[in-house]
Structure 1
Amino acid sequence: MKIVLLVPDGVAVRNYIYSDFIKELHQANFEVILYHQIPAPAILEIQNLQGDIISDYRIIPNFKEGFLARIVRESCSYARLLFNSKKLHNKTILQFWNSKSSSTRRFLLLRISELLGYCISKRYSWILKFEKWYDSAVLANSVTKLVEAELTKLNPDYILNLHQRAFNTAPIIAAAKKLNIKNGTVIFSWDNIPKARLVSRYDSYFVWSDLMKSELNKLYSEIQIIDIKVVGTPQFEFYFKDNFQLKKEDFFKIYNLNPNKNTVCFSANDASSPYEAKYLEDLCQEISKIEEEVRPQILFRRCPVDLSNRFDAVINKYPDLLFPINPDWRIASAEQNTFTEIYPSFLDIGLLVNTVLHSDVVVNLGSTMVHDFAVYNKPCLYLNYDPVENSSFKVKDVFDFQHFRSMQNLNAVGWINSKEEFQDKIQRAINNPENTGDYRMQWLQKIVKHPLQNNSSTLAKEIITLCTSV
């Protein structure tokens, strides 16, 4: 059998291409083909890791929508955000509409899309009709015709999209459906479904949990429940592999950390969270007041796609307290700082595993790292205060996001409600970790299918079943 994996950008590489998922397919006698839009150095890294398991690499052709098709796609996205916010009774969903305009053309496009999207959101059937019109426009595009010819020659048994939000894969899925090639997509992250970023429609949808399955069915009622498969996600499997784990002394020696001190990990969010540097400075100020002999050290891991210099001043101010371990994500082209040019090295998996393994507690603003630490049953402290007065950015909005409703009635994290609480809450979490977010494991079990180390196998088995079914 033959499977085509769509890799529209670098963020899909670590969770799927570096995981055992590829090997599971190979062991099931699948010929694996990568259809990608990632840079050449990333392909070289994959080849060095996976060897001949992947038989062919093909570049996803550049897809340019017509202006009208773009308006329809954006209008449908805005309409679904409006629909989802009402369906789930959650206004924060509308914050995922990117209203920033860098040009007159984009300004006009967004305003038209908002107006049209508002109108079609009034009836769900109108949203479906406009989405079908968009599918027709994609099918008629010249790029789709080129892809159709290529897929006809390849004749794969299955096509799997490794990131559902990328519109550059739309022609491939449109051609696959025309050719009756079975297809599916993973829903990449636990917070993706309400964000209206499902560009195409598929035969099957692979989600992390029963919770996501219910949410997808609720917001996309046209999708049959039987077509939504709960398979987990491979991204937590690395924590169970001994080959990624270094001894604490060895790991700390590399980054000048003290193995005899407790360690607080501060994991930062991307630029959409504007005050991460201020939070980091608050943390450093408060921790520096603790007596030297019991003062924990701070391991700082920035968001892999945040390449800004906004943390430099804090790092330079606290050289004996704050130790940055930058993610090993690489940029193929300095001129194009986009998701297609940024990709993780395989070495970054070890950096992340050892960061979690050898830290005592993690501090962040609603990051998914809470679940990484929960794998090792370690506590997380969520930041729960506004570091800048009268700012339009409000922490309350963050924790009102839909995916945090899954934590309701679960004491899964500790909360830092002011700058002055850092010392006490961190020392409590270090000294009595079982009393800080003691339901973190239950939350993790709710978020992603267990056992975590079987997720690659579960996904592969589902695809094998789908390929062999009549």
Structure 2
Amino acid sequence: MKIVLLVPDGVAVRNYIYSDFIKELHQAHFEIILYHQIPEQAIQEIQNVQGNRISQFHVIPGFKEGVLARVVRESCSCARIKYNATVLQNKTIPKFWNGKSTNIKRFLLLRIAELIGSIISKKYSFILKFEKWYDLLISKNSITKSLEIDLSKLQPDYILNLHQRAVNTAPIIAAANKLYIKTGTVIFSWDNIPKARLVSRYDSYFVWSDLMKSELNTLYKEIQYPSIQIVGTPQFEFYFNNNFQINKEDFFKFFNLNPNKKTVCFSANDATSPYEANYLEDLCEEISKIDEVNRPQILFRRCPVDFSNRFDKVINAYPNLLFPVSPDWRIASVDQKAFIEIFPGFSDISLLVNTVLHSDVVVNLGSTMAHDFAVYNKPCLYLNYDPVENSSFKVCDVFAFQHFRSMEKLDAVGWINSKAVIMNKVQQALDRPESIGSDRLKWLQKVVRHPLENNSRTLANEIINLCTSV
């Protein structure tokens, strides 16, 4: 059997291409082909990791939607966001519609799309008609026609998209549909479904949990319930692989950390969260007030795709307290920081595993790292205050996002509701970790299918079954 994996950017590389998912497919005698839009350096890294398990690499052809197709797609996205906000009764969902742009042409296009989206959101059948119109426009694109030829030659049994939001994969799925090739997509993250980032339609959808399956079925009524498969996600499997674990003394020595001190991990979000440096500075200020004998150290892990210098001032101010353990994510071209030029090094898996393994508590603003720490049954403290007064960015909006409703009726994390309580909350988490987020394992079980350590096999088995079924 033959499978094509779509890798539209470097994000999918870490969670799927570096995981045992590739090994599971290879052991099931699949020929694995990658259609990708990642740099050559990333391909070399993948080959170093997977050897000859992947037989072919093809670059996803350059694809330009055209103005009409772009307007239709953006209109559908806007309409879905408005529809989702109504169905889920969540006023924060419209914040995921990004209708702003400094480019006048893009700004006008988005304004038109917003107007159309507002109209078609009033009736679900209108949304479906516009989405079918978009599919028709893509199917007539010259790139789609050339991909039909390519796929006819390859004759894959299955095509799996490893990131459902990628527009550059739409012509491949359109070509596959014309050729009656089975298709599927993973829903990449636990917060993706309400954001209306499902560009194409597939035969199968692979989600993390019952919760996500219900959400997808609720918001996309045309998707049949049996076509949604609960497979978890491979990204938590690495924590169960001893090959990624390093002795604490060696790991800490490399990053100048003290293995005899308690360790607080501060994990930062990307640039869409504008006050991460303010939070880090607050944490450093308050932790520095603890007497030196009992003072914990702070291990700082920035968001892998954030290469800004916004944390430099704080790092330089606290050299004996704050220790950066920078993710091993690389930019292929120093002259270009486009998202497709960014990819993870394989060593970042070990960096993250040991960061979680050897830290005692994680502090952040609503990050998924709460789940990473829960794998090892360690507490998370969520920052729950605005560090800058009169800002348009409000923390209350963050924790009103739909995916945090999964915490309802659970004591999943601890809350830092002001700068003044940082020291006491951190000390409580270090001294009595069981008293912070006592339901963290229940939350993890609700969000991700268990057992966590074999989700690659579960996904692979589902695909094998789909390919062999008549």
Give the letter for the 1:31 counterpart.
Answer: E
Uncovered stretches (5+) of structure 1, i.e. residues with no partner: none
Query: What TM-score results when the alignment is normalised by the length of structure 2?
Result: 1.00
Q: Is the 8 A contact 1:7 1:34 kept in 2?
A: yes
Residue 296 (structure 1) aligned with residue 296 (structure 2): yes
Q: Distance between the aligned counterparts of 1:165 and 1:79, measured in 2?
A: 16
> Which residue of the partner structure matches residue 11 of structure 1?
11
Query: How far is 1:335 from its partner?
Result: 2.8
> Which residue of the partner structure matches residue 371 of structure 2?
371
> Which residue of the partner structure matches residue 321 of structure 2?
321
Larger deviation: 419-428 or 335-344? 335-344
Query: How far is 1:98 from its partner?
Result: 1.3
Q: Distance between the aligned counterparts of 2:233 and 2:282, measured in 1?
A: 34
Q: Is the 8 A contact 2:414 2:437 kept in 1?
A: yes
Kindly tell me the number of residue pairs found equivalent between the two proteins: 470
> Which residue of the partner structure matches residue 264 of structure 2?
264
Q: Distance between the aligned counterparts of 1:194 and 1:182, measured in 2?
A: 25
Q: Is the 8 A contact 1:6 1:35 kept in 2?
A: yes
Residue 205 (structure 1) aligned with residue 189 (structure 2): no
Q: Is the 8 A contact 2:4 2:35 kept in 1?
A: yes
Deviation sequence 1:336-377 (CA, Å, 0-9, x none)? 212211000000000000000000000000000000000000
Deviation sequence 1:262-300 (CA, Å, 0-9, x none)? 000000000110000000000000000000000000000
Q: Is the 8 A contact 2:85 2:94 kept in 1?
A: yes
Q: Distance between the aligned counterparts of 2:52 and 2:298, measured in 1?
A: 41
Give the letter for the 2:105 counterpart.
Answer: R
Q: Distance between the aligned counterparts of 1:182 and 1:248, measured in 2?
A: 46
Q: Distance between the aligned counterparts of 1:48 and 1:272, measured in 2?
A: 33
> Which residue of the partner structure matches residue 330 of structure 1?
330
After TM superposition, where is structure 1 displaced by more than 2 Å over at least 4 residues in a row? none
Q: How does 1:23-422 map to 2 (within 5 A)?
A: 23-422=23-422
Give the letter for the 1:193 counterpart.
Answer: I
Q: Is the 8 A contact 1:11 1:339 kept in 2?
A: no
Query: How far is 1:112 from its partner?
Result: 0.3
> Which residue of the partner structure matches residue 2 of structure 2?
2
Query: How far is 1:44 from its partner?
Result: 0.2
Q: Distance between the aligned counterparts of 1:339 and 1:389, measured in 2?
A: 32
Give the letter for the 1:316 counterpart.
Answer: N
Query: How far is 1:131 from its partner?
Result: 0.3
Q: Distance between the aligned counterparts of 1:270 and 1:98, measured in 2?
A: 16
Other structure's SS at 1:35 match: strand
Q: Is the 8 A contact 1:213 1:230 kept in 2?
A: yes
Q: Is the 8 A contact 1:384 1:417 kept in 2?
A: yes
Other structure's SS at 1:221 match: coil
> Which residue of the partner structure matches residue 446 of structure 1?
446
Q: Is the 8 A contact 2:99 2:114 kept in 1?
A: no
Give the letter for the 1:166 counterpart.
Answer: A
Residue 425 (structure 1) aligned with residue 406 (structure 2): no
Deviation sequence 1:157-186 (CA, Å, 0-9, x none)? 000000000000000000001100001000
Other structure's SS at 2:52 match: helix
Q: Is the 8 A contact 1:264 1:362 kept in 2?
A: yes
Query: What TM-score results when the alignment is normalised by the length of structure 1?
Result: 1.00
Q: Distance between the aligned counterparts of 1:275 and 1:99, measured in 2?
A: 22
Other structure's SS at 2:339 match: coil
Give the letter for the 2:351 counterpart.
Answer: L
Other structure's SS at 2:164 match: coil
Deviation sequence 1:76-95 (CA, Å, 0-9, x none)? 00000000000000010111
RMSD value, Cα:
0.5
Give the letter for the 1:204 counterpart.
Answer: S
Deviation sequence 1:397-448 (CA, Å, 0-9, x none)? 0000000000000000000001011110001001110110000000000000
